[in-house]
């Protein structure tokens, strides 16, 4: 099942305060890029995940986030999905873990 245009718009709107966010559809879902670096994905069932490594990944797991398969992508809480400022703060923290 491919993502709807509304799902793509939701994700790009949610992270619009980060800066230049672009998307690329793949495998029924999409990757989200910040300045050319993948920082998140949306699965074909419209679930958003942030890419994270190290301490922030461990913190996400401790907070109840679940992984996207065995990849380094972690689910975003409902609270963050409802609050763009919180979602962007979390995305900045996870993005920093990738650098």
| Confidence at residue 1, expressed as pLDDT on a 0 to 100 scale | 66
Q: Output the pTM of the full model.
A: 0.93
DSSP, residue by residue, the chain: -PPPHHHHHHHHHHTGGGSSEEEEEETTEEEEEETTEEEEEE-TTS-EEEE--HHHHHHHHHTT--BSTTSSEEEPPHHHHT-HHHHHHHHHHHHHHH-
- What are the structural domains, with CATH classification, of the chain? 5-68+79-98 (3.30.1460.30)
Q: What is the pLDDT of residues 2-22, one digit of tens each?
A: 789 999 999 999 999 999 999
């Amino acid at each position: 099942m491919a993502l709807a245009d509304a799902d793509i718009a939701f994700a790009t709107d949610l992270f619009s305060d980060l800066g230049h966010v672009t998307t690329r559809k793949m495998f029924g879902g999409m990757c989200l890029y910040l300045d050319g670096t993948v920082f998140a994905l949306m699965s074909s069932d419209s679930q958003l995940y942030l890419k994270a490594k190290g301490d922030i990944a461990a913190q996400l797991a401790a907070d109840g986030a679940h992984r996207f398969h065995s990849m380094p992508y972690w689910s975003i809480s409902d609270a963050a999905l409802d609050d763009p400022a919180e979602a962007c703060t979390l995305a900045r923290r996870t993005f920093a873990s990738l650098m």
